[in-house]
Amino acid sequence: MTTAVKRLQPKVIITCAVTGAIHTPTLSDALPYTPQDIAQQAVEAAQAGAAILHLHARNPEDGSPTGDPDVFAQFLPAIGERTDAVINLTTGGSPEMTVEQRLAAALRFRPEMCSLNMGSMNFSMHLMGSKVKDWKFPWEKPYIEASEAFIFRNTFRDIARVLELMSDFGTRYEHECYDIGHLYNLAYFVDRGLIKPPFFIQGVFGILGGIGADYDNVVFMKRTADRLFGSDYVWSVLAAGKHQMPITTQAAMMGGNVRVGLEDSLFIGRGRLASSNAQQVGKIRLILEELGMEIATPDEARQILALKGQAEVAF
Ligand code: KMH
Ligand code: ZN
């Protein structure tokens, strides 16, 4: 333990968010949406170094987001058979889903992890795709445009409900915090004993409606989390679009973990679309290893995050 980086964090956990609900098929041919493609890209991302796979489902015919557990069932077993990566299911879903729809897959499959969004907010992607003339599917343009009026609902009661409904399953959370206030919402639940350490905070930077992807903001969020939670939390960062690689690299340099994947950015470099999720995982892995950091295996991530283990899921 001679370097500052090693003192702060021996291994870095890479999460890959494989498809999400923000981007649409026209924006990138690489965005997976059939169960086969989601499974294949997830497995390849794990092989490239992702210890955690954050997963959404999409309708196989047109790539529109869905929370239907029957669609998740078409790719979860295939991923579980082919990799030992930690499966983390979304409970954020998409703008068009109710909180119940967002939770359905996590309730059925009882994964090792699920996301838990820590506050309500504007969440807009209406600036995306302004240059697109021909959309592959009719749902895409209205979906993107409607997000200008979207409120991403995560009230205290909603969060409490997720915690209550998931409490018997031993699932732990990726606490998505899109602004400093969301850390205080998390502290509210920690103070009431409803969330136990070590909890995994995913700082989200650069969503229109959330905190901006600025280096000062990353420092501010980390300092606030340190003040509120001391050593009770494990920190990770994602950043949207072109900010993905610089901001996640900064977070890792500060002792944090990182999330990449086509859910968060479709790009691999300036103006260059990524060819796959694995390409982004490979890039951040290379950057971190060149900086002298080591990448956590799935079992090391399980240990760091006190997860229940792959044998305890229901798929
Ligand atoms: N798309 C990310 C910015 C969720 O799935 O719960 C947020 C997200 C939400 O990952
Ligand atoms: Zn997500």
Tell me the pLDDT band of 6, cut-offs 50, 70 and 90: very low
What residues sit around ligand 2, an ion, with C-beta below 5 angstroms?
20, 90
- What are the distances in angstroms from CA 107 to CA 35, 91, 145, 180, 314? 20, 10, 31, 29, 9
Task: Give 224-267 pLDDT, tens digit per residue.
Answer: 999 999 999 999 999 999 999 999 999 999 999 999 999 999 99
Burial of 75 (0-12, 13-18, 19+ CB in 10 A): buried
Residue 24 Cβ inside 6 Å of ligand 1? The answer reads no
* pLDDT at position 96: 86
Residue 22 Cβ inside 6 Å of ligand 1? The answer reads yes
Pick the range with the lowest mean pLDDT from 58-67, 90-99, 205-214, 294-303: 90-99
Checking if the pLDDT of 10 tops 60, the result is yes
Task: Give 53-74 pLDDT, tens digit per residue.
Answer: 999 999 999 999 999 999 999 9
Residue 210 Cβ inside 6 Å of ligand 1? The answer reads no
Task: Give 99-142 pLDDT, tens digit per residue.
Answer: 999 999 999 999 999 999 999 999 999 999 899 999 999 999 99
In angstroms, what is the span from residue 312 Cα to ligand 2's centroid? Answer: 22
* pLDDT at position 127: 93
* pLDDT at position 5: 46
Helix ranges (H only) for 110-210 are 140-146, 156-166, 180-191
Q: What value does the mean pLDDT of the chain take?
A: 96
Which residue minimizes the CA distance to atom 8 of ligand 1?
A: 92
The H or E element that residue 17 is part of is strand 14-17
Residue 92 Cβ inside 6 Å of ligand 1? The answer reads yes
CA–CA separation, 254 and 6 (whole Å): 11
* pLDDT at position 7: 46
Which two tokens mark 286? 């290379």
Checking if the pLDDT of 283 tops 50, the result is yes
pTM metric for this prediction:
0.97
